[in-house]
Amino acid sequence: MPTSLLALSMLGATALAAGDSGLTLNRPAGEISADAAAAAWERIYAVLSHPRCANCHVDERNVPMWSGPSYDAPRPHGMNINAGASRMGVESLLCSTCHITSAGPNSVAHGAPHAGHPWMLAPAAFAWYGKDSVSICAQLRDPARNGGRDGEGLVQHILHDAQAHAFITWGFAPGGGREPAPGSMQAHLDDMLIWTAAGMPCPQATGDQP
């Protein structure tokens, strides 16, 4: 059964107002059907597994990836980049050597990417690259592997990112000739509101019994 929407509507005193982010909190009314929740998750998965997101959500080898339609085949980031245990290149070459912390536009073809947060890999516990829908869903709903967030925390994460013009925002408008993640920031927030309101249901692995 879907969880109550009451908990999702009770924002804490420190929660970010949607207006500060430029997004609208289109909270669903009533219960969410299983089909609607599943469809919302599939759209979320399409975003999270897209190269704009997954290429920096890599495992403990700390190697960002290059993949997508601009490449013949997926491969490790050029220039032998390894972000190290710091996940931001402190040990060798900082990500910020080429990636710019700025809310400026990404309008220059093949230019250095701008985002309003210091560039770094996501924590290794958040690895998505090469993983299927079942695995990513299980990770995203697990507070031990998602930054300690419940459903409302995941929603607030999107709002804070939009306010800061950080990595999720960049993924939908990367510029420089890069293919954006599918959909839009608002559509991604809408899907997250549906999926979390429904209790964050996950697809079953092939062969699992209903």
* Residue-level pLDDT at 207: 59
CA distance 86 to 91: 7
Structure-token match 């609208």, residue found: 24
Q: At residue 41, what are phi and psi to the nearest 5 degrees? A: -60, -45
According to the model, what pLDDT value does residue 10 have? Answer: 32
DSSP reduced 3-state for 100: strand
DSSP secondary structure letters along 46-60: HHHTSHHHHTTS--T
Strand partners, 76: 65
Q: What is the pLDDT of residues 7-19, one digit of tens each?
A: 333 333 334 667 7
Q: Where are the domains of the chain?
A: 31-197
pLDDT digits (tens, 9 = 90+) for 40-82: 999 999 999 999 999 999 999 999 999 888 888 999 999 999 9
Structure tokens at 56: 């920096």
Average pLDDT by stretches of 10, the chain with 210 residues: 33 55 94 97 98 96 92 91 96 94 84 91 96 97 96 97 95 91 97 98 75
pLDDT at 13: 30
Structure tokens at 58: 């890599």
Nearest to 171 by CA among 77, 56, 52, 55: 52
Beta strand pairing call for 114-115 and 100-101: parallel
Taking alpha carbons only, the member of 161, 145, 140, 130 closest to residue 65 is 130
Q: What does the pLDDT read at residue 134?
A: 98
Q: What is the DSSP string of 154-172?
A: HHHHHHHHHHHT-HHHHHH
Helix (H) or strand (E) segment spanning residue 42:
helix 34-48
pLDDT computed for residue 110 by the predictor: 76
Orientation of helix 34-48 relative to helix 133-140, angle to 10°: 100
Residue pair 154/188 in contact (Cβ under 8 Å)? The answer is no
What is the number of alpha carbons within 13 Å of residue 167 lying toward its C-beta? 17
Measured distance CA(57)–CA(2) in Å, rounded: 29
